[in-house]
Amino acid sequence: MKIAIGTDHRGFALKEQIKSAFSLDNLEFKDFGALNRDPCDYPDFAIPVARAVAKGEADKGILVCSTGNGMAIAANKVKGVRAAIAMTPDMARYSRLHNDANILVLPADYIDLQLVPKIVKVWLETGFEGGRHQRRVDKITKYENEQN
């Protein structure tokens, strides 16, 4: 599975931790940066990750910043992206089951770092439930398509 991953300076350490924790799990990470802890702007990484996911160049994406909000807002501007913030394994699971989220957003400064591997694992392994949830995702997609 190809994973597009990106962060700003505040999430750099967590991004590296994720890549290291999952390096042996048949995941191929395409790292969009940041490449260090120097101050930078989250849209510079959120948008390229979101584009890669939307174009099918990556199967899923993971974004990290301080609160997760900036990354989620920026990524969700890209047509075809459903980026969801998750702070617990249950939030991650339901973002996939009910919302078919294709980008996981993690808030580096507000998450239990010990839970991160489990959050990522659950998110990667959970499928979309479809059914009534498909109808809801279709409504979002329809609206999104009418805007452009």
Cite the active site residues: 65, 98
Whole-angstrom CA distances from 8 to 3, 55, 87, 146 are 17, 22, 18, 31
Whats the size of the chain, residue-wise? 148
Whole-angstrom CA distances from 123 to 12, 41, 67, 95, 118 are 20, 26, 19, 8, 8
The phi, psi pair for 107, rounded to 5°, reads -90, 95
The answer to whether the CB of 96 falls within 8 A of the CB of 128 is yes
Tally of CA atoms within 13 A in the half-sphere of 25 that contains its CB? 16
Give the C-alpha separation, 33 to 49, whole Å. 10
